[in-house]
Structure 1
């Protein structure tokens, strides 16, 4: 059995901006990064998404936004 990897995800950074709040680990500033992601299957685009990721500028950790609805 021979398996060939033909799927690939590409990410391009669209922009950066300051986000409100501070890092819960080191109290550094938080930065929001808009990322454009695209899945390709044999060089054909299959899925296209724009995501927002949050990072700490001091400790470089990836932060997640947890929202709990009442």
Structure 2
């Protein structure tokens, strides 16, 4: 008997904008984004989380807390 756990998480960027300030790590510009996530189990959507705002540096791609 074999049990295979197949799950996936898909992220879709809805909107982006340039946030004020600069990255504390490298000094690059900060890009804000609205992201919508969907969790899937065996290619069937299980849950959708609402829109989440994230702030990331455009140079080093680190997530910045704001």
Coarse TM-score class (shorter-chain normalised): 0.7 to 0.9
* 1:36-59 deviation per Cα after TM superposition (whole angstroms, max 9, x unaligned): 110112333221122222111122
Which range moves more in the overlay, 14-23 or 56-65? 56-65
Gaps of 5+ in 2: none
Aligned partners of 2:44, 2:59: CA distance in 1, in Å?
38
Give the corresponding residue for 1:55.
56
- 1:60/1:42 CA distance change after superposition, 3 Å: closer
Question: Between Structure 1 and Structure 2, how many residues are aligned?
Answer: 65
Give the corresponding residue for 2:30.
30
Aligned partners of 1:26, 1:42: CA distance in 2, in Å?
40
Shift of 1:4: 0.7
TM superposition score normalised by structure 1: 0.72
Structure 1's consecutive aligned runs of 4 or more residues displaced over 4 angstroms after TM superposition are: none
TM superposition score normalised by structure 2: 0.75
